[in-house]
Amino acid sequence: MNSDKLSARLAAVAKYVPKGAKIADIGSDHAYLPCYLAKNIGITFALAGEVAVGPYQSAKSNVLAEGLSDIISVRLGDGLDVVRPGEIEYVTIAGMGGALITSILERGKDKLSHVKRLILQPNVSAISIRKWLIDNNWELMAEEILEEDGKIYEVLVGEKGNSPLTPYGRHLEAELLVGPYLAKEQNAVFKKKWLMEVKNWQRIYQQLENAAQTPDTMKKKQELIHKIHLVEGVLQNEES
């Protein structure tokens, strides 16, 4: 991967950034995404934010080498701290866990007042992002799921000023877990992911079944059964 040829995962994020956009890419690492967007999509401004010095330096030298310093500002700092008021309208955060992404959004809420769209790519725990979007009045507008190099990734797109429960149906708990749009579509990657999760939960359940039955074990077993039923319900729904 480089800034001319993005990974399929980052290309799925890039798809939701329009021409002319002003973006912040938080946790930018090498800054491949903002460089790609500047060269291929015609964004007018990007801020590449990094909390770690090594990736920050790598972003800085890539942006310089690409001759993109007029468009891309590379800044060292935690989460949305690097954003100045009114500077950006799009935020991308990719390649981290869902809990870390939501903690960055939560801590930087005051920097989101001019932001129209969040494009988030959690490696795990997309559920925490779906819940955060609802709690903070952002509507989930689109979702993607894809497999690359044996790993499965999700991309979630939220927009402000809409109604946060619109995409969800009668099975809110299950849809928060698996994604309302993804559950409707149920493509092959979605089925693969959730069949693997169910298998894994069944294996853990079996291990707990063979262990001493403490209140803690019983509680964990109940939680696993609940999740298995939720996901099986979604997968069966498609077949009916």
Contact set with ligand SAM (CB under 6 A)? 10, 26-29, 49-52, 55, 78-79, 94-96, 100, 104
Backbone angles phi, psi at 53, to 5 degrees: -65, -45
Q: How far is the CB of 7 from ligand SAM (least distance, A)?
A: 7
Contact 157, 118 (CB under 8 A): yes
- Looking at beta carbons only, is 143 or 175 nearer to ligand SAM? 143
- Helix axis angle, 98-107 relative to 126-135, nearest 10°? 30
Length of the chain: 240
Q: How far is the CB of 161 from ligand SAM (least distance, A)?
A: 26
- Cross-sheet strand order for the sheet of 45-50: 72-76, 45-50, 22-26, 90-96, 117-122, 151-160, 138-148
Q: How far is the CB of 147 from ligand SAM (least distance, A)?
A: 16
CB under 8 Å to 51, separation ≥6 — which residues? 27, 76, 77, 78, 79
- Looking at beta carbons only, is 59 or 176 nearer to ligand SAM? 59
Region of 105 on the Ramachandran plot (φ > 0 left; ψ -120 to 50 alpha; else beta) = alpha
Q: How far is the CB of 141 from ligand SAM (least distance, A)?
A: 20
Contacts 24+ apart (CB under 8 A), 214-220: none
Q: How far is the CB of 158 from ligand SAM (least distance, A)?
A: 17
Q: How far is the CB of 27 from ligand SAM (least distance, A)?
A: 3
- Looking at beta carbons only, is 145 or 183 nearer to ligand SAM? 145
For the CA atoms of 45, 50, 55, 59, what is the dihedral angle to 10 degrees?
A: 10
- Looking at beta carbons only, is 89 or 148 nearer to ligand SAM? 148
The C-alpha atoms of residue 232 and residue 54 are separated, in whole angstroms, by 44
* H helical segments located in 172-214: 172-178, 180-185, 188-209
- Looking at beta carbons only, is 108 or 158 nearer to ligand SAM? 108
Q: How far is the CB of 151 from ligand SAM (least distance, A)?
A: 12
- Looking at beta carbons only, is 36 or 194 nearer to ligand SAM? 36
Place of tokens 């725990």: 125
The C-alpha atoms of residue 224 and residue 42 are separated, in whole angstroms, by 47
- Looking at beta carbons only, is 94 or 182 nearer to ligand SAM? 94
